[in-house]
Amino acid sequence: MLGKGLPGEMVNPVIWMIRPWIEDFSAFDHFAQPVGFLRIAAVLSAIGFQVNYLDCLDTSGPDESSGFRISPGGPCEYRSNTIAKPEVFKFVPRFYKRYGSTTERFETAVEMLPKPGAVLITTAMTYWYSGVARVIETVRRAAPGAPVIVGGIYATLCPEHMQSVLKPDMGIPGPVDEPFYRRLCDLTGVKFPRKMIDLHPPPCWNHVPGLRYGLISMRTGCSRNCTYCAAGILSGPPRDTPISGLIREIDTILKQPGIRNIALYDDDLGAMDPDRLADILRFLAGQYETVSWHLPNAVSAHAITPRIAGLLRRAGFVQPRLSFPHIDRKLGPEGLNDATVNQLSSAAGHLIRAGYAPDTLSAYIPAGLPGQRLSWLERAGGQMLRCGIKPFLAQYSPVPGTAIGSKRLSDLEFDPSHPEPLLTNKILSVYRHPGWTFKQYYDLANHWRSTRVS
């Protein structure tokens, strides 16, 4: 649903596109650019809109560079300011922060821009909606009358909450398609092109200040339907990206000054046809020798064969991270089942023989699922270490609308008739879980972090 529109009375091609602040206990830029939002910016520019992109998470300016911890091409911690904790988090003994630029810097920026015909705001985690609310308040003051349009993950997973709490003029759940662009043209008075335009161009990376890396995907969507995950809800069925599309996206990234780190953010890379995956890796190895490749979303252990391991190494993939799908079906009391352990052990062996050092291999263990106990985490981590893989605890954020997410939210007294998305915050996997105390959790996490795999 596009919602009720506001009739455009005059032509105004100016569009503000805003990436909001994060309000949370921690936030890192781990290959976290809003690719879909930047792709929309490219489409709007092709239609003829004047796009003004504002990133509240940008702290690259000279007045805000201090305290912005960064590692070249990899994760960095956003600059932050401590703010009051919401009531639901009062018992958590940690500081709550707003991550990104100062509110004053953002307010000054929007005051200097030409008044918009419409304002587009992207969203990410469901429990970050308070940062979106603050952006909308500022926009309403700076550009009264301009329609405010909100899309992204939160808008897709919590559309009713978004409409009742944030009250945008338009909400966009799910992917953006041609009818949305036509509607935006109607709102602003801009003519939609008669000539066919590309609705899937490379993202507008030039809008990102201080860009340190790029993002591509070999395929979008996910076929696994895991009962704890929202990938299928957010991105739909799997679709392979044509090799010509990959080349165009990579070349667009490499035109940005100094960029030599690119991450594959596929949700379901391991489900790709093995021959196609091998062909693409072989192509990357031959054509982009100076690029360092990353797999922040991990790749399924079962997909790592001797051939794939060798090609990952040849292409320059850094510190491969492994995953094991359908974790919700493998929560037995004895840790990971034998089939999963065998997959992880086999994958680690192939990667080590391909030339990777043992201490560069890792895998996530989701922590905070219903029914988990500390003994399960300890057992699963020990099994990984014996396979030659370093375990990392990934705090589980329950996803509204998924089976496992709904069960976990029920444990947290989440009322579906009056939902509070703050209860989906991953921090509650540590501080409000019957399987462990927060000290037990952090002792285990710190132990694994300092354990060296040999």
Number of Cα atoms under 13 Å in the Cβ half of residue 291: 26
Contact 300, 253 (CB under 8 A): no
The beta-carbon contacts of 106-112 under 8 Å, at least 24 apart in sequence, are 106/54, 106/56, 106/135, 106/138, 107/138, 107/142, 109/54, 110/16, 110/54, 110/138, 110/139, 110/142, 110/143, 111/142
- Which amino acid, one-letter code, is at 283? F
Q: What tokens were used for 163?
A: 């409409």
d(CA 416, CA 423): 11
pLDDT of residue 66: 37
Contact 352, 453 (CB under 8 A): no
Rg value, the chain, Cα: 22
Q: What is the 3-state secondary structure (H, E, C) of the chain?
A: CCCCCCCCCCCCCEEEEEECCEEECCCEECCCCCHHHHHHHHHHHHHCCEEEEEECCCCCCCCCCCCCCECCCCCEECCEEEECCCHHHCCCCCCEEEECCCHHHHHHHHHHCCCCCEEEECCCCHHHHHHHHHHHHHHHHHCCCCCEEEECHHHHHCHHHHHHHHCCCEEECCCCCHHHHHHHHHHHCCCCCCCCCCCCCCCCHHHCCCCCCEEECCEECCCCCCCCCCHHHHHCCCEECCHHHHHHHHHHHHCCCCCCEEEECCCCHHHCCHHHHHHHHHHHHHHCCCCEEECCCCEEHHHCCHHHHHHHHHHCECCCEEECCCHHHCCCCCCCCHHHHHHHHHHHHHHHHCCCCHHHCEEEEEECCCCCCHHHHHHHHHHHHHHCCEEEEEECCCCCCCHHHHHHHHHCCCCCCCCCHHHHCCCHHHHCCCCCCHHHHHHHHHHHHHCCCC
The burial of 160, by beta-carbon neighbours within 10 Å (0-12 exposed, 13-18 middle, 19 or more buried), is given as exposed
pLDDT of residue 60: 65
Beta strands 96-99 and 22-24 are antiparallel
Partnered with residue 81 across adjacent β-strands are 98
CA distances from residue 268 to 81, 231, 289, 402 in whole angstroms, order as listed: 36, 9, 25, 18
334-354: pLDDT as tens digits: 678 888 899 999 999 999 999
Contact 64, 95 (CB under 8 A): no
Chain centroid, CA 295 distance in Å:
13
279, 211, 151, 325: CA torsion to nearest 10: 40
Contact 216, 297 (CB under 8 A): no
Show the domains of the chain with their CATH numbers: 14-188 (3.40.50.2300), 214-450 (3.80.30.20)
Contact 204, 53 (CB under 8 A): yes
Low-confidence ranges of the chain (pLDDT < 70): 1-9, 59-75, 325-334
Partnered with residue 362 across adjacent β-strands are 321, 390
d(CA 290, CA 87): 49
